[in-house]
Amino acid sequence: MPRARTETVARNQTPPSGPPGRQDAVALSRFRPSFPLVEAKLHPPASRPGTVPRDRLIRLLTAEPRSPIVSIVAPPGYGKTLLLAEWAAREDRPVAWLTIDDFDNVPSVFLSYLAAAIDRIEPIDESFLSAIAASGSRILAAAIPRLASELHRSGRPAVLMLDDVQRLVDRTCLDALSALLDHLPPGFQVAIAARTAPDLAFGRLRADRDLLEISRDDLALDLLETEALASAAGRLLRPDEVRALAERTEGWATGIYLATIAQRRSGRTGTAAGDVSGRDEYIADYLRSEFLAGLAPDDVVFLTRSAILEVVEPELSEAVAELPGAAARLRALAGANQLIGEVGGTGGTYRYHNLLREFLEGELERREPGAATELHRRAAAWLAAAGRRELAVEHAFLGEDTDTAAALVLPTFLSELYGGHADKLDRWLRTFDDAAFVRHPPLAVAGAWIHLLNGRPQAADHLADIAEQSTSSRDPGDGSASFESSRAILRAVMARHGPEDMLANALLAVDAERPGSPWRTNGLLMLGSARLLLGDDAAADAAFTDAVEAGGMAGALVSWASRASLAIARKDWAAAERFTRESRAVIARAQVGHILPSLMTYAVGARIAIHHGDMTHAREELVRAQLVRPLASYAAPWVAVGALLELARAYLALADPAGARNVVSEAEAIVRRRPALGVLNASLAEMRETLRDASAALAGSSALSTAELRLLPILSTPLTFKEIGDRMFLSRHTVKTQAISIYGKLGSSSRSEAVQRAIELGLLDPFPGFAPARGPVAD
């Protein structure tokens, strides 16, 4: 079970000490994700007396020429973190630091922290937030080129240090890190510390001589370092004792420290190494008999209970342990033992060494069986009361309290969705089982929304069915007037029973949602869309006008775009242009250009550009539409089909019947699943007739299928077809077939040429100084 972290938000703090230029960089930092950062993750541990300098390793790390990537891989207790921290303190170049934890396994969260760390040495433009909001594999093609470009733009030599990287297991996060490692600017280093080698392309980096590897054997203390550590721990050893201790521990720093402390406290003489007979058994025996035995009972309780926290801050740990005086207690404990350390620059925040924390968690279970669940619940309650909803949710899940988690997730639904972290919201909602959705029907509505926006219609239908079979009189917690109202809006957007049913549900929601409700805009959007499907354009336009006046995000976005579509139909191009401009303003303000509702905006934008003869801008808009098109499905059929028809008209105006035929085919597939779509059915039949005599040949980027659009971003990585298939749950043969189809449609003969052509067309963002990615890109 992953550990939840605590949150320390830096407010009015003195910038941390560090290498020259670092304080100025902190003052200039401007990257602010939508969630509060855990500040302790962005600082190395504070230096402390008794730490043995690793001069020989520092010389290795700073020797010229420097390798762009440094790997420090060894089991726990070999001093990986301390080595990084010492290097950071001695480094002349600016240093960015990030400690990875289990909850970084969400691409938008990991990339937010990565950007925040780099922002401390070179400000990252806030536009990066829109890049990390891209869904699925698109985040690789949107965020990493942008981040690499920021590093190249500065041209400033620096070091990014990543600690505890073994905790990064999400495949997209690892692929994003690999892609960044492939495109570092000259003079920029990335150092990776981990217990085990992370699943990165170390083999290729090693072959290219871009990797400096520091292993367990390198980290093992030599005789002089062993003697220095024993002396710092309060014991002077004879040369033979030093040699014996070093041999028996194999230079294992933590083993040397623990053995020395144990012998010093017992008053025994002779070879301290005799106390070291194994790793885990020895550690547990020592910590139980020597470390805990020397503490007051309250201190033992405090440590075992607070071990559930990734980062230990006084007020939260006090609430979790239910013991007073946490600040003084932590200060005293840290002063007496090197396995408890203060995090640099965060003011009274501490971390327990991984070995100590793991032991304490086991000790907690031994002393208070099952207590961890209740402790996580206490943490969730305290964090929720402190307004730290994100971390409260994580602790609630770890505390197996899905009811509290549901109560915390629902109020964050819209803010997370429009804050660019739909993937985090998606992970939360996937954690609930069907029983939780049945107990909390508004949660089923929220889950259905996430699935439909991510192009997963079957999953959306499943949760919509749960909502249909449920009743609830409680406040839904998501800002809507009632469960019945939010369910009615979901019914309307999914249009599973035709436009008349859509209209009835829209009217119910509009009547229920009072002015100021974040859901009123969506209700009015559904009302206008139902009127549109029923052929009442004037009433539809009036409802869309009311929707944009009500505010909101996605509802206003689609309402403006729908008004533009109606204006085009009546040849009022000036109004259409004005409405599209307003829709684009919503996209920019809310950074929602990656989600399904933006598809109509790009489609009408392309038609307006064509009308003005601006073919370059038209093609740019069509490329943006292509990137969102894979999300169009029968889960929101009127949105998908309406936008696809507008795209077909744009392609025809560009004399591209192949592109038009492609999107019409996608629209027809949706209508087969949702046949009752009012006037859209007639419009689709008319477009099909128009295309009857068009060439059946499909060529050009407009002919890329949704499956091919999903594959394209990953083709720009060094991954083989088999590796891509593993990530996309496809066979190597399927990936190869789709890739060859992409090559043909882009007029390319190879993978690298196809990537280059996609960059030229705007389907992929270029890396700085683009050259095809290194590695096995051909299969």
- Does residue 40 lie in a domain region? yes
**Greatest Cα-to-Cα distance within the chain, rounded to the nearest angstrom:** 97
Based on the fold, state whether residues 691 and 714 are members of the same structural domain.
Answer: no
Going by C-alpha positions, the residue among 402, 67, 385 that lies closest to residue 393 is 402
Which pLDDT value is given to residue 281?
61
**Residue in the structure block whose two tokens are 């002349």:** 92
Distances from the Cα of 629 to the Cα of 23, 412, 599, 702, 779, angstroms: 44, 27, 7, 11, 28
Q: What is the pLDDT of residues 115-146, one digit of tens each?
A: 999 998 888 887 788 788 776 667 877 888 88
Angle subtended at Cα 415 by Cα 98 and Cα 541, rounded to the nearest 5 degrees: 140
Q: Are residues 188 and 41 in the same domain?
A: yes
Instruction: Tell whether the model's pLDDT for residue 699 goes beyond 60.
Output: no
CA distance 234 to 143: 50
Whether 686 and 563 map to the same domain: the answer is yes
pLDDT at 233 over 80: no
* Angle of helix 537-549 versus helix 520-533 axis, rounded to 10: 170
Q: How confident is the model at residue 700 (pLDDT cuts 50, 70, 90)?
A: low
716 occurs within a structural domain: yes
Assigned domain for 229 exists: yes
Cα–Cα distances (Å) from 227 to 2, 60, 203, 222, 267, in that order, read: 37, 21, 36, 9, 18
Residues 54 and 127 in one domain: yes
Give the pair of three-digit tokens for residue 61.
């790390």
> Are 52 and 177 part of one and the same domain?
yes
pLDDT tier for residue 84 given thresholds of 50, 70 and 90: very high
pLDDT above 80 for 86: yes
Contact by Cβ (8 Å): 351, 39: no
pLDDT digits (tens, 9 = 90+) for 39-64: 889 999 887 766 888 999 999 999 88
Average pLDDT of the chain?
85
- Which of the 8 DSSP states describes residue 220? S
Number of domains in the chain: 5
Angle between helices 554-569 and 537-549 (to 10 degrees): 150
| CA distance to 112, 595, 670, per residue, from 673 (Å) | 38, 22, 5
- Per-residue pLDDT at 708: 84
pLDDT at 30 over 80: no
CATH number at residue 746: 1.10.10.10
| pLDDT for residue 336 is more than 50 | yes
Q: Which of 696, 724, 750 is the last residue of a domain?
A: 696
Pair 380, 323: CB distance under 8 Å: no
The reported pLDDT for the residue numbered 326 is 94
Asked whether residue 78 is assigned to any structural domain, the reply reads yes
- Each residue of 575-596: pLDDT tens digit? 999 999 999 998 888 777 888 8
pTM of the model: 0.78
Same domain, 58 and 97: yes
Strand order in the sheet with 211-214: 95-99, 158-163, 188-194, 69-73, 211-214
Domain boundary (292, 325, 342) is at 292
User: Is 165 a residue whose pLDDT tops 90?
Assistant: yes
Residue 301 pLDDT class (50, 70, 90 cuts): very high
The Cα–Cα gap between 535 and 558 comes to 18
Question: Is residue 662 assigned to a domain?
Answer: yes
Q: Which pLDDT score, from 0 to 100, does residue 46 have? A: 82
Q: Is 535 left (phi over 0), alpha (psi -120 to 50) or beta?
A: left
Q: Which pLDDT value is given to residue 779?
A: 60
**In angstroms, how far is the first alpha carbon of the chain from the final one?**
38
Residues 6+ apart with CB under 8 A from 278: none
Give helix 422-431 / helix 441-453 axis angle, nearest 10°.
130
Residue where one domain finishes, among candidates 677, 696, 715: 696
Q: 106 with 232, same domain? A: no
Query: Does one domain contain both 657 and 740?
Result: no
The CATH number of the domain holding residue 331 is: 1.10.10
In the DSSP assignment, the letter for residue 291 is: I
Which of helix, strand or coil describes residue 267?
Answer: coil
- The CA-atom distances, in angstroms, between 702 and each of 621, 625, 632, 745, 775 are 12, 10, 16, 8, 29
Answer whether the bond into residue 65 is a cis peptide, omega within 30°. Answer: yes
**Are 126 and 156 contained in the same domain?**
yes
Task: Specify if 90 maps to a domain.
Answer: yes
pLDDT band at residue 635 under the 50/70/90 scheme: very high
Q: Are residues 665 and 565 in the same domain?
A: yes
pLDDT, tens digit, 9 for 90 and up, residues 146-156: 888 888 887 88
pLDDT on residue 773: 43
Domain for residue 178, yes or no? Answer: yes
Q: Is the pLDDT of residue 1 over 50?
A: no
Do 205 and 318 lie in a common domain?
no
Give 640-688 pLDDT, tens digit per residue: 999 999 999 999 888 888 889 999 999 999 999 999 999 999 999 999 9
**Do 187 and 240 lie in a common domain?**
no
pLDDT of residue 16: 39
pLDDT score, position 716 = 81
Non-local (6+) Cβ contacts of 281 within 8 A are none
Give the SS3 label for residue 71. Answer: strand
Task: Give me the domain span that covers residue 737.
Answer: 704-761
Would you state the pLDDT for residue 513?
94
Percent of the chain whose pLDDT exceeds 90: 47
503 within domain boundaries: no
The pLDDT-based confidence of 488 (bands split at 50, 70, 90) is: very high
